[in-house]
Each structure stands twice: as C-alpha cells, then as structure tokens.
Structure 1
Amino acid sequence: MAFKTILTITGPEMGDDDLKLGADVCEEIGAHLSVLVVAIAAPPPVGEYAAVVSEAWLEERQADEHVLKKRAAAVSAFLAGRVLSADVSSEYPEAGWADDTIGRRARYADITVTGPELLANEMLKSKAIEGALFSSGKPLLLIPEGSRPTLKPKRVLIAWDARLESSRAVRESLDMLPGADEVHLVMVDPVEDENRHGAEPGADAAAYLARHGVKVTVDRLPSSNHSVADVLRRHAVDIAADLMVMGAYGHSRLRERIFGGVTKSMLDELSLPILVAR
C-alpha cells in the first residue's frame, strides 16, 4: 500500500532526533507526518491512604500535563521549520491503557515509525510496539541507532514462512518493493508441504511478487544449529539489506501482549530497519 500518512511517537523528555527521522522519511515520499506526544500518567491513589496522597497526585498530574503541553509546542515549532504537511497531538494515558491509546491514533496513519530515541525508552517502546501491532491493524517500522531510514529501499530481505502474518507484511510493503534493486525472499529450513510452502518453498510467493514487478530472488537457508533470528540477521548483512520485512507473531492474553520467539528476538536486537505487520 502507499504510505500517505506516517505516525511517529515522542515523549516529553525526548529530543528531536526521531522527529527528524520521521520528517526525512515523509519528505522522501511526500507523505504527511502525524506526531503523537505521549506521557505516561501515574495511576490514581486507591485504598485507605487515597485521601492523604490525592493532593500530591493531582499536583504531579498538573506538572506532567504542563510538561506535555510544553513538549507539544516544541514539536510544533520544530515542524514549522520543515517543508512538509504535519500535525501534532498529545495524550496522557495511564500505563495500562497507553498501548490502546497509541493504537487508536495509529489507525489513522498508514505506518508507525519508531526511531532510536523511542526505542531507548523501555516504557514507551513497549507501549508503541504493542499498540501499533495489536491495536491499529497497520505496519510498524523500527529504526535502530545508526541506520538511515527509507521507504524507498534498494535491497530488501523478506523473512518468509508462508504464514498469514508474513503474507500481511509483504502486502503492506508491496508499494515500495518494485522500486528496489534486489528483493530476497528468505526462508530458514523450509519444509515442502501442502499446508504452507507447497512443493517448492518460496515459488508461489516469488511468482506473486514478480507479477507486481518485483525483482525477487528466493533464498532457502539452513539454520545449522543457529536461531532463525540469527540466520536472518547474518543474511541481511551478507546481502547488505537496508530493510527487512517480516510478520510479527503474537497474541493478547488479558492485558499482556505475548510475542513469538523469533519476533521477540528481532525486536529486542535490531540490527537494521525492520517493517513488521501482523
């Protein structure tokens, strides 16, 4: 799909580096940048001491809201100096609902872009990733420190396992894949079967991509006693990939988001920009 609106998330204590990355990506493809400034609110006091501490809690909230408003104004000033279409909003949810708040906002963007500053903030990182992947229905682009983000990649690695999530990730990235010089459809220890890969693993997916004008190569790799995540990272280096596309596997249990092993490993140890969808 075409990316016309990009969401990026920042916090009251963060700088402007992630904003610059988001603005650069938007200027590259002529997209609108939507910025959400998020501060996590302390939960209200409960129990027999609630009346005693409520005044301090209210003062803390007022101070937080003042800082949040100040940060939103600073973001607006930053964006005023860039030549792009943009908007700024702010939210002050409690930790238990921050992912849903972010997810609701992400529904009105085509993709959420998270930069190194946000990824270094463990609380906002987890809420942004969970909200974007579980509550928005839209993809997420994670950009590690030292990477140059782009939605016009030249060498793409698609982590393919023929499941619904990887198919969704391919579909979400399909608008930019034809412009790449190389697209590698990568499978680790693929098995020939009727339910997933078929008689020739990767052949059907490669044919689908080729019909969209994608210059695709099928890479079937052995794990050789290494984890799937490590094999993917190593192959990304070997082909000098500037973007990885993969499905995110996980489920929601009560208020806990549970990610699959490969997904969690890739999210925890980013080595290049990764576009994920589920």
Structure 2
Amino acid sequence: MSKPDILIHLRRCEGGLQAAEAGLRLARRLGAHALGLHVVALSPVAFASPEAVALHASEAHHLIADARARAPWWQGELDRFGVAGDFQVVQGDTVEALCHAARWSDLVVVERPVLNPDAPLGWGIVSRTVFGSSAPVVVVPEAARVEHIGRHIVIAWNASRESTLAVHGALPLLARAERVIVLEGEPAGDGFGADMLPKLDLRAWLARRGIEAGFEAFRPARDAHGHAVLEAAHAHDADLIVTGAWGHSRITELVLGGVTRHLFQHSDLPLLVAH
C-alpha cells in the first residue's frame, strides 16, 4: 500500500509549533510521509535599490543556512513520532511555495498564529494557501489542542462542491476515527437548476467506504452559522472539523462575513478545509 504525503509548513525551525505536532500526529495516524517545509520569505523592500538587493541577498543566505542547519531538529521530531519524512528550506513567497508543494501532497498542514491571525478581509497566508492549494488543508490554530487530532471528527455538510472536496480529502482520517458526526445543513443551491442534478446520499456513500457516521439536522440562523458549527463541535468533543471553504462568493464572504471567515478567525479546533 502506498504512503500518503503530508506537507507541514514550519513557520519556525524550532519546537512548540502546533502545526508541526498536529501534522506529525496525522502522519503517524495515516502512516504518511511528512515533509517539513520552511520558507525564507522575500521582502518587498529587497528590491527598493541595488544596495537593498545586495543586503537582502546576504541576509537571506544566512537565514537559509541557519534554517538548513536545523535539519537534525526535524529528524528528531520525526523519530519522536515514528514517522518517515524530509526537511526542505526554500526562499520565496510562502503561499506560492506551499501551493506548489501541495501539488504532490495529499494533505497540507498550516498554523494560524494567535498574535497574527488572518487579516480582517481574509488575505493572510492561511486563507490564501487554502484558496490556492490543490490539496485539502488542515488549519491549526496556534492555541489548539492536537494530542487527539482525528479521533473525533465533525463534518459540516451542505452538499456543496467545497464540502464534498473536504470529505474526499478527509476520507483516510474518517476511516480511522473513533467517532464521526455529520452536521447536515441545508443543501447549497447555485441558482442554475442544481435541484435537477443527481443527489448524493452521504450516509450510504460513507457506509460503502466502511465509515459509520451519526447524522443530525443542522439548521442555525444564517448569521450564526460559524458560531453554531463551533458550538456543535465542542458539544461532540470533536478534535477536528471537516468543512468546505468559501462555498459562496469569496468577495461576499470577505465583505459581509461568512462561515469560512468566522471559523478561520475564531476556531480553537483544527479545521480540515478544501476549496
């Protein structure tokens, strides 16, 4: 059986990163290969003048060398969790690097810092990575508890393209979970005759894959949807929420708010999301 690949974004090359611990725990649960990726970001001011370019190039060289010297630390983390993996340090735009590596990854794990959460309009590294990634992304809040990630999973389901992609991406974890609960919301409509398209019976679809899930109706007020998802996840003692991202127009969500934006800004639980 082939091993899945998990890409873990290392904001720093040191301990105490919740994304690193969550990613390694997921890799152990899935028997996956874990790539730890650290990106030395390019500064826009580096191109302000020829002198700035030379100075930044010298500084970047030292940062890259220092980061690569931390490879034994990552190997120690891999050994601690009994996981096979690699360590890479690259230079460039963080989102571009993550989305590029996501092309050959089955799962991407990123951390959402508490002190620097996504910008009010949702243009931070985390949201941009989710929007551009070809693989599902596990968003780990910096303060989240991750010791049991993937044991109790709640799915926020509305039959949308995005939530279907998220469930697809979560299948290996769903198959290994002790408990799966589906919050069955109103089916997403697109105004173009979706009611006439084939219907998916998610309960039967999961059962055919050996996944037994509990289903419960989920009909919160539209303006409290994100809060209600978090409340239900806590009520079920969930350690991971599976949900689609930006099921509505992204501009609408950025301007008026939405479930994705609320969860990214307020969730204290890891989120497995897909767009």
The two structures have a TM-score, normalised by structure 1, of 0.78
Shift of 1:58: 1.6
**1:7 matched to which residue of 2?**
7
Q: Go from structure 1 to structure 2 and tell me whether the alpha carbon gap of 1:172 and 1:191 turns closer, same or farther (over 3 Å shift).
A: closer
Gaps of 5+ in 2: none
2 CA distance for matches of 1:181 and 1:28? 12
Gaps of 5+ in 1: none
Contact 2:154 2:181 in 1 (8 A): yes
Q: Go from structure 1 to structure 2 and tell me whether the alpha carbon gap of 1:38 and 1:128 turns closer, same or farther (over 3 Å shift).
A: farther
Q: What does 1:103-252 align with in structure 2 at a 5 Å threshold?
A: 103-115=99-111, 120-121=115-116, 126-131=124-129, 133-144=130-141, 145-148=143-146, 153-188=150-185, 195=194, 204-224=201-221, 227-249=224-246
Contact 1:165 1:248 in 2 (8 A): yes
Letter in 2 for 1:66: H
1 CA distance for matches of 2:222 and 2:127? 29
Letter in 2 for 1:15: E
Q: What does 1:20-169 align with in structure 2 at a 5 Å threshold?
A: 20-43=21-44, 53-74=49-70, 76-81=71-76, 82-83=78-79, 84-93=83-92, 97-115=93-111, 120-121=115-116, 126-131=124-129, 133-144=130-141, 145-148=143-146, 153-169=150-166
Q: Go from structure 1 to structure 2 and tell me whether the alpha carbon gap of 1:154 and 1:22 turns closer, same or farther (over 3 Å shift).
A: closer
Shift of 1:175: 2.0
Contact 2:166 2:243 in 1 (8 A): yes
Shift of 1:61: 2.8
Deviates more, 1:223-232 or 1:100-109: 223-232
Q: Go from structure 1 to structure 2 and tell me whether the alpha carbon gap of 1:146 and 1:172 turns closer, same or farther (over 3 Å shift).
A: closer
Shift of 1:190: 5.8
Identity %: 24
Shift of 1:230: 0.7
Contact 1:21 1:115 in 2 (8 A): no
The two structures have a TM-score, normalised by structure 2, of 0.79
SS in 1 for 2:238: coil
Q: Deviations over 1:117-172 (max 9, x none)?
A: x56555899324423x2333101112221411556x33211101111111111111
1 CA distance for matches of 2:41 and 2:118? 8
Q: Go from structure 1 to structure 2 and tell me whether the alpha carbon gap of 1:21 and 1:174 turns closer, same or farther (over 3 Å shift).
A: closer
Letter in 2 for 1:7: L
Q: Go from structure 1 to structure 2 and tell me whether the alpha carbon gap of 1:9 and 1:197 turns closer, same or farther (over 3 Å shift).
A: farther
Letter in 2 for 1:102: L
Shift of 1:228: 0.5
2 CA distance for matches of 1:65 and 1:123? 29
SS in 2 for 1:222: coil
Letter in 2 for 1:111: L
2 CA distance for matches of 1:269 and 1:143? 11
Look at both structures and tell me which one has the larger radius of gyration over its CA atoms.
Answer: 1
Report the number of matched residues.
Answer: 259
Q: Go from structure 1 to structure 2 and tell me whether the alpha carbon gap of 1:110 and 1:190 turns closer, same or farther (over 3 Å shift).
A: closer
